[in-house]
Structures are given as C-alpha cells and as structure tokens.
Structure 1
C-alpha cells in the first residue's frame, strides 16, 4: 500500500475530507470492503501527515475511545468520564482498578515509538518473549497482519482483548509507517467479531477500519481547529508557565489543574481563562475535581 504525500501548508479548516464515496459506500464483497478500508486508511494517512493536526492529542483521545470500547467488551459500566477520573485523579499509592488499568494501557501504548519495550510498558503483565511471538505471527498486507495478530492472541488467550487489540494496532501502524500507533481497531469491532477467525476476522477488521478511520479523520479536523484557536489565544495568557501549560493541553486528552506547571490557584485561574476564551472546555460538569481539555 503506497501513500501519497500531502501539502503541509494546508489550513486546518481545509484539511482534506474523507471522500463521500468512502463514507457512503455499502460494500458487500470482501474485495470491495478491503478496497474501501485501504482508501480510508490512505486518506487518514494524508491527514495525519499535516502538522496542523495535534498528533499526540489525537492519539490520546483515540486511546480513550479504544479503552472505553474494551471496558464495554468486558461487561463493565465505566465510560469516558469515569475512565478520565480513574486516570487523572489517581493519587500516589492508589490503584486505578480494572477499567483504569485498561485506560492506562492504551494511553501508554500511544506515547512512544512502537517497540517490544514500549509495548511491554503498556502491557506489563506480558513477557517480552510472548509479545515477540505474537508480533511475529503478522504476515501479509497491513490489515491482514493486524487480523492475524488479533487471531493469534485471542486463540491463545480468549480474554486478552486489550493486549490483542493493542498489538494488532501496533503491527498495523508498523506496516503503514505510523509511529506511535493510532488506536483504530477496537472502536470499529463488535464484541462478536473477536470470536471470529481467518477470513471472517479479516473481513470484520476491514469493516472496522473503514468506520474508525472515518471517525479519526473527523476528530483530527476538529482537534486541528481547536488547537489552532488555543495557539491563537496563547499570547493573551500572562501567567508564568502558561506556555508549558498550553503544550500540555495540546498533547493530552484531559488535564487536571494540579498537573500544570503553575501554583494551584494560578492553574485554576488559567483554566478558567482558557474556558472564557473558548480555547478549552471543562469536561466533567462538576464544581470540584474538574478536568479540562481542548
């Protein structure tokens, strides 16, 4: 699969949109579905190459979506809000719980270049040798490689949905030249798809990547606009350390004021000011223990 190179000078508001023939097509045959998934991934690749897209922020937000899906697969009730709380309000010595662990695994998976060491950091309960064995199962074209790894992991460990999906996204990213990985498969697959094998799983993976790539492109465009606005209002911020705080907002799905490089009161004032300027939003709707994000 060969990807075209984009024009990096493009304005955030004119990032290329996913072609209508990809978003509206109703493919039935395996060949047609595979063609559409390739087109969707190609377009996502073009969008990811634009410097206007806040890459780390997009990956962190997609990681949250993947974690939410995996938590739902396990039958737990936590959704995005609870997952954010579990990760960002964690105090030293506290345990994040099963849902929080899932969210942390995905966030760690998107933080660093894909490697056995980085994947081991995201999945600390797995031995490096086991990760290598599963990654080595990848053969063929990019989506086939991802589906093969997914199949291999779930055949050996049927309840290991999180490692299976992270490793599948990792080999997909390696095949497409993306680094770090972009969480895509989890959000597009159904729980029943994870019980499929062979060609059935490959077909489900192609379908999943069409829908996930479309959503990732939409989010990339939205975050590019929001990031551009945040950068535009940054010069209005007078607080010492405001520049570093802005960089944190540009790389993280959610930020707790106490994590900003400012005194507590100044951090809260900065967050309130950014909300007034329309540059960030308060994510919880609470009066206390608030979280903010672009």
Structure 2
C-alpha cells in the first residue's frame, strides 16, 4: 500500500477567541465549552486524524490524572510499563488497572456492555442505572455538560471512592449526548479532585471549564498526531520487511508498542523499530536499552 502524506494544514483552526477567552460567568463557561466541543467534533471526524491513536493518548492522560487523584507517583512511563509486558495471569496492579479501564473504555463503541468490560467490578445493571439519567433521548435531561455533571454527582454520591468509574461514565455520557460512537477522555485531565466533590451549579461550572480546556488540548494533540502519522505513512513504502504494513498499522492505532508485539520475528521487529526511529517516523519512549517501547 502507498500512503499519501496528509497535510496538517487541512485541519480547520480553533478561533483565537475560543482559546484565549476566560469564562467569568456560568453563561461564558457554557458558551466556550460548546464552542470547543463543536470544533473538536469537526476536527476529530476528519479522515486524516488517527482517531484510535488519539483516543489511546487521551486515555493515557486520563489514567495519569486519575492516578494523581489517589496520591500515587506513577506517571505515563510507569503506566505504559504496567501493562506493556504483562504475562497471562499477571496483575497490572492498582494503577495498571486504572489504565486498563481507560484503554478498554475507548477501544469499543460505547455501550453498557463495553463499559462493563472496562469496569468489570461494577455490575452492568448499575452502570445502566447511572447512565439512564443522562440518556439524551429522555425529555428534560438538559445539555451535554449538564448530563456529565449529573453522572459524576450520581456515581460519587452512591460510591464516593469510585472516581475512575465516575469519570469514565461521564465521558461516556458526553459521547452519548454528542452522538459520538466512542468515548473520548476529556473530563479527568482538567477536573481537580476538589471539583469532584462539588454539586449542582458549582459542579456544572467546573465541568464546563474542564471540557473547554481539555477539548482545546485534545485538538492540539490531534494536530500533532496528524503531522506525525503523515510522516510515518510517507516513509512506510521504504520498509522492506515482510508484514511491515501490519506493523505500521499498529503504530498508527496504539499509544505504545513493544517489538515483541509486532507480527515479525524478534530480531526483525527490533530492526524495523530502529529503522523507523532513524527515519524520524516513531520514537523510542522509555530511554532504556532493553524492554523498549515505541510510538508515533
């Protein structure tokens, strides 16, 4: 397959007033969050945006934020390690489980069944009950961010320590309200732990502000990934290894890939990764000499 080099210049730009304005009132906050979400919806549906990879990177950021909520020191590098080299039967540990939950949440189209796979310790019926109050088909449920706040408040009132569950279901509610097929992690990265204890108007205001900031950050990430994946697609025809095309597809859809996960013999996989690094198409993410991970 010959890949065309997509240009980042094809993506519509976020208006400067939306990125520089400050939400001084609840009305301002609602207006800005709506503008940011509308633009994210427009950009993320463009064919040049690697949507699976974008969701995986946002899932990593969300897991990192949730880990910080719990006062743990693990960051992106440790979270990647927690699941990249797991053997069958191994436990990823508490922080690894958080990352697994977010990755599962963004992998399949959002549904109660998919959310239960992401949150196996929560009964599917309980997830359905918590989500029912934000169903956009039901009359009088309010605007998307209002439904997000309702889910957070409902979950944390009934289960005060389940912040990860509340935030995954809040992002699922947002996706549902906006007609998105997949969960796009936005809330966790810009809500503070204190915000999760707010209620009513104060919680809605915090959610509006968080959505605005995180949507703008997601747009910047999308632009960066379009540029990086375009370069990877451009250099792919230079690769001679058998099944290199499948390997490239893995890099285009996954946050981090170990050579052992590629569909090539071990030595060939490592050579392919080194070649792609030399071509500037992927990066080595760990800084180690062994147990390396690579990503766009």
Q: Structure 1 length as normaliser, TM-score?
A: 0.96
Q: Give runs of aligned pairs for residues 119-134 of structure 1, distance below 5 A.
A: 119-134=115-130
* Number of matched pairs: 285
Where does residue 186 of structure 1 map in the other structure? 188
Q: 8 Å contact 2:58–2:184 — kept in the other structure?
A: yes
Q: Give runs of aligned pairs for residues 93-132 of structure 1, distance below 5 A.
A: 93-132=89-128
Secondary structure of the 1:187 match is: helix
Q: Distance in 1 between matches of 2:67 and 2:170?
A: 17
Secondary structure of the 1:191 match is: coil
Where does residue 5 of structure 1 map in the other structure? none
Q: Give runs of aligned pairs for residues 46-65 of structure 1, distance below 5 A.
A: 46-65=42-61
- Is 1:82 the counterpart of 2:78 in the alignment? yes
Q: 8 Å contact 1:17–1:217 — kept in the other structure?
A: no
- Is 1:258 the counterpart of 2:264 in the alignment? no
Q: Structure 2 length as normaliser, TM-score?
A: 0.95
Q: 8 Å contact 2:26–2:205 — kept in the other structure?
A: yes
Counterpart among 32, 37, 43 of residue 41 in structure 1: 37
Q: 8 Å contact 1:13–1:221 — kept in the other structure?
A: no
Q: Distance in 2 between matches of 1:145 and 1:17?
A: 28
- Is 1:69 the counterpart of 2:65 in the alignment? yes
| Runs (4+) off by over 6 Å | none
Aligned-pair CA distance for 1:212: 0.1
Counterpart among 192, 206, 223 of residue 221 in structure 1: 223
Aligned-pair CA distance for 1:254: 0.3
Q: Distance in 2 between matches of 1:95 and 1:128?
A: 23
Q: 8 Å contact 1:110–1:180 — kept in the other structure?
A: yes
Where does residue 199 of structure 2 map in the other structure? 197
Unaligned runs of 5+ in 2: 1-5, 135-140
Q: 8 Å contact 2:7–2:226 — kept in the other structure?
A: no
Unaligned runs of 5+ in 1: 1-9
Cα RMSD, aligned residues only: 0.9
Q: Distance in 2 between matches of 1:52 and 1:193?
A: 35
Q: 8 Å contact 2:7–2:230 — kept in the other structure?
A: no
Where does residue 153 of structure 1 map in the other structure? 155
